[in-house]
Amino acid sequence: MDIVAKYLDPRVVSQIATMELRARLIVEGFLTGMHRSPFHGFSAEFSEHRAYHPGDDLRYLDWKVLGRTDRYYVKQFEEETNLRAVIAVDQSASMAYASDGMISKFTYATYLAAALAYLAMLQKDAVGLALYDDTLAQYFPPRARRSYIGELLAALDRAQPSQKTDTARSLELLAERLNRRSLVIVMSDFFDDIEQVATSLKHFRHDRHEVIAIHILDRRELDFRFGLAATFRDMETGEEMITQPLQLRAAYTAAVEEFIEQIKAICYAANIDYMQAVTDQPFDRLLREYLVRRHRVR
């Protein structure tokens, strides 16, 4: 595994001591990888320049960049480039699940949230954070100060899953806090009443916010490969059941596929971007999708 891939691997990242260092190494690994890829140049533009388009004011053409690269770029100003983003992380009980050898869904979400916040800071965007279970447990409004990132990463480092769940109510409370148009990134397994979740996600769109729904799942939740016998425990009630996974796999996987398609359909109907994240996957695809979305909505 080369150094780039190493710092995008969730299990390797989990061995790093602090959330700030995890975020920095994930983002640096991601940006290094982009420079090696066909996307070279995409991540380097950030907020200072954009490609020249016919009709742009030539007063803002960057002649120094033209001289160095033989490419036409125009300078941009902060009000044209900066974005307000709020990252909402589900800390309900079901997010604590982790299959053997993997980090939990919640841990994966906190690492991804930390990396997105760090990337937003590099782009001079205002970024905020929400942690929720059956209510809005913590809320940090979007700010663009470089020093603010430390508060967000510290909150993510301290956070732990709770035993309560009410996604719809929590997201409604968050929507009430957002008084300016923002990009809202919701990270959850969405294991809750699907109709209520749909209503709360649509609330953001009704208020003209852009929304990315990142559906975080463990690999075993997708394939149900638990061996010949397994004990299943409800993460919220503690109730246990011993069963033979092989006998249930077909029905279970069909139900999971239907659930995922429901979430996708809700997002599609509301013009919400849906992204699936599995906890054994590196972080680069999700960060790339974020950058694509950011440039589209700013």
pLDDT tens digit sequence for 86-138: 999 999 999 999 988 899 999 999 999 999 999 998 888 999 999 999 999 99
Closest CA to 188 of 90, 43, 56: 90
Domains for the chain: give ranges and CATH numbers. Answer: 3-79 (no CATH), 82-297 (3.40.50.410)
Which CA distances in Å does 87 have to 56, 117, 149? 33, 8, 12
Closest CA to 95 of 73, 111, 72, 75: 111
Closest CA to 29 of 10, 2, 4: 4
C-alpha Rg value of the chain to the nearest Å = 20
Q: What is the pLDDT of residue 79?
A: 43
61 φψ region: left (φ > 0), alpha (ψ -120 to 50), beta (else): beta
Structure token digits, residue 261? 């398609």
Question: Which amino acid appears at position 275 of this protein?
Answer: M
Closest CA to 211 of 183, 173, 189, 190: 183
Q: Give the residue ranges of DSSP H helices in 77-224.
A: 78-81, 105-122, 148-158, 167-177, 194-206, 219-223
Which CA distances in Å does 210 have to 44, 110, 115, 203, 205? 24, 21, 20, 11, 6
Q: What is the pLDDT of residue 38?
A: 42
Helix (H, G, I), strand (E, B) or coil at 87: strand
Structure token digits, residue 40? 């070279």
DSSP element (H, E) containing 252: helix 245-269
The two beta strands, 136-143 and 126-132, are antiparallel
Closest CA to 142 of 87, 188, 214: 87
Helix (H, G, I), strand (E, B) or coil at 54: coil
DSSP element (H, E) containing 213: strand 210-217
> pLDDT tens per residue, the chain (298 residues)?
566 677 789 989 999 989 999 999 999 888 887 655 444 333 333 445 667 666 666 666 777 776 777 777 666 544 445 789 999 999 999 999 998 889 999 999 999 999 999 999 888 899 999 999 999 999 999 999 889 999 999 999 999 999 888 899 999 999 999 999 999 999 999 999 999 999 999 999 999 999 999 999 999 889 877 654 545 455 555 565 556 555 677 777 888 899 999 999 999 999 999 999 999 999 998 998 888 877 766 5
Task: Please state, in angstroms and rounded to a whole number, the distance separating the CA atoms of residues 262 and 278.
Answer: 18
Does the global pTM surpass 0.85?
Answer: no
